[in-house]
Chain A
Amino acid sequence: MQNSPIREFLSKRGSGSLADNSFAAVMLLCALSIFAIVFFILTILILRSHQSLVQFGWKFFTRQAWDPVSGDFGALPFIYGTLATSLLALLMAVPLALGVAVFLTELCPRPLRAPISFLTELLAAIPSVVYGLWAVFVLVPLMRDHLGPFLVKTLGWTGFFEGANFGVGLLTASIILAIMILPIISSLTRDIMNAVPNSQREAVLALGATRWEMIRIGVLRNSRIGIVGAVMLGLGRALGETMAVTMVIGNHPDISKSLFAPGYTLASVIANEFSEATGDLYLSALIEIGLALFLVTIVVNTIARLMVWAVTRNAPARVH
């Protein structure tokens, strides 16, 4: 038995644990590289923005000055522009996205379902610069000649639509942002609504509810945490969106109540001024803006992911 050919063959072949372990190590290394990437981005941003961090401290984010000539920098106008455009975009996109998700999961006839979700996914695949191009040549004139005057006439009393309307400004940027974040919010919301068990729907229907009551009580109420998460993911996208916004926001560091006024966002000031930044302080101020953007989007995304996970974690894999 000791010298059976099989045993001999196996002992000659070895256990292969070396190959196995090194393969596992390489895979682990690649997985760890994802941590490394995040860590390295953070480190390099802090290192390069050191000068501005030291010089301005926390006041950097509450000061309104932006004067490259005299070396005086503050990020408040950009923070205002980013928040204003993102929140306005959410205000426009969320109801529409919810409508689409409700339509796709609850109302849509089956044969239409796949084409419509495919179309909304295509909307997500269009590059940001193409949205920007469309906005510059279609949305801006539309805003200047039709939508703007209409808004002044109907909502002028609110004070949000004052001053000259050039077509570029906070409102135009918000509209293009809304169009861009719609697909992500609606497809995530759709996935979350699909994760609600059918028994919930049937229970509510069995009590004699109409379809809307079933959606409200059985579906929306069960998935509200996930929906908030999806909205926050959309917010994360909107905060960091660069090209399309840069092309239509007007690029002027100003804080104005009017939505027609040109503004500036954190991302677009980097895009516009980074390559022509002269002087170390100017450059490090811009990198500090990048650092702020990085940290804010990480926090927003983390909260959002946790919320989406809380809902879809136990759901069975989606089958189309």
Chain B
Amino acid sequence: MSTQPISNQRPPLDLQTRSMRLNTARRNATNYFISALSVLATVLVILPLIAILFYLIYKGASSLNFAFFTHIPAPVGESGGGMANSIVGSGIILLVASLMGIPIGIAAGVYLAEFGRGKPLATAVRFTADVLNGVPSIVMGISIYSLIVLQQKHFSALAGGVALAIMMVPTITRTTEEMLGTVPHAIREAALGLGVPKWRTAISVSLRTASPGIITGCMLAFARVAGETAPLLFTAFGNQFWSFKLNEPIAALPLQIYVYAISPYDEWHRLAWAGSLVLIVLIMVSVTLVRIFANRGVLKGGS
């Protein structure tokens, strides 16, 4: 606007001085360096996963056969044999755990989301659940051992189921609460406005609307405890033979993998790889399914 030359007014803004250029170059170099480092870190993290998966598939697939799913373990020195009893045993333990853990977990989540909003008690429960989630699984194992196995005087499938159930509860509680939190209040109010009692609203409206997410949470908790070995060491104990009774020691897939992995026999190592492959395929299929359904089914636009 004025006729004065502008360049005289602001010499400090000259971006082309030597020190300025150096500074910019240094900052850009740092930027690229850090970006490269973080890409490198990601690659380094993904790499072991790929390595573990490929090695597992390579080793496991070559030792999987039909007998693995139909036979019980062969005695040392004999080839062949399978882990049929461990697969069934894992199924029984997980069924017991789910029957106990899922209802309690969901009910606790319903309390937190529907009845305990803003109450200090609910905050305390939430916090305890988070902390319980981080308790080492081996500690669960020895407490259940002290409580059930010492009373019964023998290891049992029931004790293993209880240990796993306790590990499922906090995860399910927290996901149920989070999922119920996404159900819009307007839906609840509509139900209450029609004269539906509160308990009926919680079950038929809130829980039903949030059910895809809650099922996801249950599956994740299930997948997590399916691979747990430590709590089963002193509760289910393992068994080389068929067992269907709840009050007897029972075989479990992760336990059997552990026993075979630390054994000195090549034949058993082979079975351990096969067992790991089966276990990991089961877990990954459930996690992936959960992921797909969770993305599709979760309530959109709720707050």
> What is A's interface to B at a CB cutoff of 8 Å?
16, 19-20, 23-24, 26-35, 37-38, 40-41, 44-45, 47-48, 95-100, 102-104, 107, 116, 118-123, 125-134, 136-138, 179, 182-183, 186, 210-213, 215, 233, 236-237, 239-243, 247, 267, 270-271, 274-275, 286-287, 290, 293-294, 297-298, 300-302, 304-305, 317, 320
Residues of A within 8 A of B62 (CB): none
Residues of A within 8 A of B223 (CB): 125
Number of interface residues of B (CB under 8 A): 94
Residues of B within 8 A of A131 (CB): 52
| B251 in the interface (beta carbon within 8 A) | no
A197 CA to B237 CA in the complex, in Å?
50
Residues of A within 8 A of B2 (CB): none
Question: Are B229 and A127 in contact, with the CB atoms below 8 A?
Answer: yes
| B79 in the interface (beta carbon within 8 A) | no
Q: What are 17 pairs between A and B in contact, CB < 8 Å?
A: A28-B115, A30-B104, A47-B146, A97-B41, A97-B45, A99-B38, A121-B287, A125-B223, A127-B279, A128-B230, A130-B276, A130-B280, A133-B273, A134-B56, A271-B138, A274-B233, A298-B134
For window 85-112 of B, CB contacts with A under 8 Å fall at 103-105, 107-108, 110-112
For window 217-239 of B, CB contacts with A under 8 Å fall at 223-224, 226-230, 233-234, 237
Question: Are B169 and A37 in contact, with the CB atoms below 8 A?
Answer: yes
| Nearest neighbor of B140 in chain A, beta-carbon distance | A41
Residues of A within 8 A of B44 (CB): 96
With A96-B44, A213-B27, A243-B229 already in contact, 14 other A-B pairs whose C-beta atoms are closer than 8 Å: A31-B112, A31-B121, A95-B41, A100-B41, A120-B49, A126-B283, A130-B279, A133-B261, A210-B31, A212-B35, A240-B138, A242-B136, A274-B145, A297-B134
Question: Are A305 and B127 in contact, with the CB atoms below 8 A?
Answer: yes
Q: Is the interface of A mostly helix, strand, loop or mixed?
A: helix
A27 CA to B105 CA in the complex, in Å?
10
Question: Are B38 and A100 in contact, with the CB atoms below 8 A?
Answer: yes
Q: Is the interface of B mostly helix, strand, loop or mixed?
A: helix
Residues of A within 8 A of B137 (CB): 240, 242
Asked, given contacts A116-B46, A134-B56, whether A122 binds B111 with beta carbons under 8 Å apart, the answer is no
* Chain A binder among B68-76, B195-203, B208-216, B240-248: B195-203
A80 CA to B199 CA in the complex, in Å?
52
Q: Which of B55, B104, B197, B230 has the most CB of A within 10 A?
A: B230
Question: Are B261 and A125 in contact, with the CB atoms below 8 A?
Answer: no
Question: Are A34 and B108 in contact, with the CB atoms below 8 A?
Answer: yes
